[in-house]
Structure 1
Amino acid sequence: MDDQTRIELEAAAFRRLRQHLMEDRTDVQNIDMMNLTGFCRNCLSRWYQEAAAEKGIEMSKDDARETFYGMTMAEWKANHQTEASDTQKADFKEAFAENVGDKK
Structure 2
Amino acid sequence: MDEQTRIQIEAAAFRRLQQHLMQDRPDVQNIDLMNLAGFCRNCLARWMDEAAAEMGVTIGKEPAREMFYGMPYETWRAQNQTDASPAQLAAFEKAHQG
Task: Give distance in 2, aligned partners of 1:93 and 1:42.
Answer: 18
What amino acid maps onto 2:23 in structure 1?
E
Q: 1:2 maps to which residue? A: 2
Q: CA deviation at 1:93?
A: 3.0
Q: Residues 21-100 of structure 1 correspond to what in structure 2 (within 5 A)?
A: 21-97=21-97
Task: Give distance in 1, aligned partners of 2:95 and 2:77.
Answer: 21
Q: 1:101 maps to which residue? A: none
Identify which range, 27-36 or 85-94, moves more after superposition: 85-94
Q: CA deviation at 1:87?
A: 1.6
Q: CA deviation at 1:96?
A: 4.2
CA RMSD, aligned part only? Answer: 1.2
Number of residue pairs the alignment of both structures matches: 98
Q: CA deviation at 1:11?
A: 0.3
Q: 1:102 maps to which residue? A: none
Say if 2:10 is the partner of 1:18.
no
TM-score of the superposed pair, with normalisation by structure 1? 0.88
The answer for unaligned runs of 5 or more in structure 2 is: none
What amino acid maps onto 1:30 in structure 2?
N
Task: Give distance in 1, aligned partners of 2:68 and 2:96.
Answer: 20
Q: CA deviation at 1:60?
A: 1.2
The answer for unaligned runs of 5 or more in structure 1 is: 99-104
Q: CA deviation at 1:71?
A: 0.9
What amino acid maps onto 2:17 in structure 1?
L
CA 1:59/1:95 → structure 2, altered by over 3 Å: closer, same or farther? farther
